[in-house]
Amino acid sequence: MSVEVIVLVGPSGAGKTTIAERLVRDHPDRFVLSVSATTRRPRSGERTGREYQFVTRGEFEAMVGAGQLIEWAEVHGEYYGTPIGNLSRAGEPCPVPVLDIDVQGARQVIEHAPSALVIFILPPGPRRWIGRLVERGTESPVQILRRLRTALAELRAASSFRKSIVNEDLDLAVEQVLALTRAAEAGRGCEGEPDALVRRLVAGARAEIARLEGPCDAGMAQ
């Protein structure tokens, strides 16, 4: 059985995008990145059509209304969604689309494509994870706080996804995605046991939220 779509899901800062990019860079004949539509503003260096299709809220709502998205969700206060065209290439011998999406979107994809290979990406531990979120410098403290709060909900959902990878080392994580793809194609299960790590990540996120809440209170109230 061939894998029709790979979905990488997990909290912000877990490294889903980096894993997806590396997978496609190393195996361009086998995998292709799914470019989502979003209402969030481009970060410096991001270009529409490459990282995302950047659209207005009105344009996004029109896409939803026209049934152009296979899944969509509001994440961290912005809309994100996967255009149907990224998935539907029935009959073509083409690369497998790799989706980097949130938990709500992953559940919708599973409904439409029960054979999707959905992999929950866990950061290696609270310190490296939160350090990565803060040090990449793409979000303000208020936005980090918001992402951590969303992450708590995503981590609670981790156990509902049967396959998971701990992103300790990028090369290894990419190898593990490939191994899970091979196992899925061979019809074998390969399940992770992330419970103890999830508990540590939740505790780390809670501690950081408590630390950020003080200085950020004024900003959050706006």
159 near ligand 5GP, judged by CB under 6 A: no
* Residues between 72 and 131 that touch ligand 5GP (CB under 6 A): 73, 75-76, 80-82, 100-102, 104-105
Of residues 104 and 159, the one with the C-beta less far from ligand 5GP: 104
d(CA 159, CA 8) in angstroms, rounded, equals 14
Give the helix, strand, coil percentages of the chain, each rounded to 5: 45, 20, 35
Q: What gap in Å lies between CA 97 and CA 26, rounded to an integer? A: 14
146 binds ligand 5GP (CB under 6 A): no
Options 7, 16, 32, 121; binder of ligand 5GP; rule CB under 6 A = 16
Output the smallest distance, CB 182 to ligand 5GP, in A. Answer: 24
* Number of residues located near ligand 5GP, criterion CB under 6 A: 16
Least gap, CB of 186 to ligand 5GP (angstroms): 28
Distance between CA atoms of residues 13 and 206, nearest Å? 15
The verdict on 148 binding ligand 5GP (CB under 6 A) reads no
DSSP track, 122-149:
E-S-HHHHHHHHHHT--S-HHHHHHHHH
Tracing tokens 């998205």 back to the chain, one arrives at 69
Q: Is 194 in the site for ligand 5GP (CB under 6 A)?
A: no
The residue within the footprint of ligand 5GP, chosen from 12, 164, 176, 181 (CB under 6 A), is: 12
The β-bridge partners of 52 are 36, 48
Place of tokens 């809670």: 206
Residue in 33, 36, 123, 204 binding ligand 5GP, rule: CB under 6 A: 36
Main-chain dihedrals φ then ψ at residue 161, nearest 5 degrees: -105, 125
Question: Would you count residue 6 as binding ligand 5GP (CB under 6 A)?
Answer: no
Residues forming the site for ligand 5GP (CB under 6 A) = 12, 16, 36, 40, 71, 73, 75-76, 80-82, 100-102, 104-105
